Chains A and B, each alone.
Chain A
Amino acid sequence: MANVLINVPRQAKRGEVIEIKTLVSHPMETGYRRDQLGREMPRDIVRRFVCTYNGTEVFRADLHPAISANPFIVFSTVATESGTLTFRWTGDNGFSMTESAAITVD
Chain B
Amino acid sequence: MDDRCSRRRFLGTAAGAAAGFGLASVIAVEPARATPSSMQDAIRKVAGAATLTAGRVKLELPPLSENGNAVPLAVRVESPMTEKDHVKAIHVFTEKNPQPDVVSCHLGPRAGRATVATRIRLADSQTVIAVAELSDGSFWSDRASVVVTLAACLEGGP
Task: Give chain A's interface residues, CB within 8 Å of chain B.
Answer: 17-18, 27-28, 30, 32-33, 53, 56, 58-69, 71-78, 80
**Residue contacts A-B, CB under 8 angstroms, 7 given:** A62-B106, A64-B103, A66-B97, A67-B102, A67-B118, A67-B119, A69-B69
Asked whether B111 lies within 8 Å of A58 as measured between CB atoms, the reply is yes
The 8 A CB mask of B90-112 against A (1 = contact, 0 = none) is 00001001110111111110111
B71 → A minimal CB distance (Å): 8
Q: Which 3 A-B pairs have the closest CB atoms?
A: A17-B112, A74-B117, A69-B158
What is the interface of chain A mostly: helix, strand, loop, or mixed?
Answer: strand
Task: Give chain B's interface residues, CB within 8 Å of chain A.
Answer: 69-71, 74, 94, 97-99, 101-108, 110-113, 115-122, 153, 158
Asked whether B102 lies within 8 Å of A58 as measured between CB atoms, the reply is no
B128 → A minimal CB distance (Å): 10
Which chain B residues border A68 with CB–CB below 8 Å? 69-71, 118-121
Q: Which of B70, B98, B105 contacts A60 (CB 8 A)?
A: B105
Q: Contacts A56-B110, A73-B116, A75-B107 known; list 12 others, CB within 8 Å.
A: A17-B112, A32-B153, A61-B104, A62-B103, A62-B105, A66-B103, A67-B118, A69-B158, A71-B118, A73-B118, A74-B118, A78-B112
Asked whether A72 lies within 8 Å of B158 as measured between CB atoms, the reply is no
Residue in chain B with minimal CB distance to A74: B117
